[in-house]
Structure 1
């Protein structure tokens, strides 16, 4: 998941853990304490896709320092873990995933200014695919 202040991009992978694909973009509800509506939708997606774990992007500065966005992502991951304690949650460095996703979409002829939802899903795909690839490289 690519967690932002306005949207959460969601991706999934095949059962063999080889290929990440976009799922949807969840709108973040202002004034929703504890991510309640977003977590309800994610619970539905976890069930629908038979998810065995969740990867949450951890945005840091280019120098690897934590930012306000980092704290928000950690807060989201904590809320997710509290709501689904049996579901493993991995926090993964997401530096430049949105830039990579936006460049790929632009290269494919997509107008990224008008398609923020698509960018968030694509960023989630980039993030999940990097996580998948790193796990395969360790084997």
Structure 2
């Protein structure tokens, strides 16, 4: 397992959830929800978070269907990850499968007694936590970084 902080990102149309982890990569925790409608502002905020947390990489959840196919949401996420990689270089950006992360986050929040209305902005953070924790667990068990690394196109 590589040592170093990571940030996890759940990209949505309205909001972007962000999670972080400890330097040992053991536990993902919520960081904040960034408004997602203004993408330049969202990228600026992510750059500020990267400057603050100094992660070795940013893990972005890639929404796929249950069959593994990629639709319009995955295309938007790929474009977001490409622009994020361009802006954050040399910090690596990785795409990881996020199937059912929001479903798992919503289930966990309901179990904790958080209502859907009150938890709307926190659900995005919780989904980012699920994405990042799955990536950390995958790396720990496989010994390899998870997902695919985004190559910066100049």
TM-score between both structures, scaled by the size of structure 2: 0.85
CA distance, structure 2, for counterparts of residue 18 and residue 28 of structure 1: 28
- 2:80 maps to what in 1? 76
Which shows bigger deviation, 12-21 or 80-89?
80-89
How many residue pairs get aligned? The number is 135
Q: What is the Cα deviation at residue 7 of structure 1? A: 0.4
| Deviation at residue 66 of structure 1 after TM alignment | 0.6
Q: Is 1:25 aligned with 2:50?
A: no
RMSD of Structure 2 on Structure 1 (CA): 0.9
Task: Please name the residue that 1:60 is paired with.
Answer: 64
1:104 aligns with 2:112: no
2-side partners of 1:112 and 1:23: how far apart? 19
Aligned counterpart in structure 1 of residue 93 of structure 2, from 89, 93, 98: 89
Once the 2 structures are TM-superposed, how far is the Cα of residue 74 of structure 1 from its aligned partner? 0.2
Offset at residue 2 of structure 1 (A): 0.3
| More helix, by proportion | 1
Q: Residues 37-56 of structure 1: matches in 2 within 5 Å?
A: 37-56=41-60
Partner Cα separation in structure 1 for residue 82 and residue 74 of structure 2: 12
SS at match of 1:79: helix
Q: 1:10 — aligned with what?
A: 18
Once superposed, which parts of structure 1, at least 4 consecutive aligned residues long, lie more than 2 Å away? none
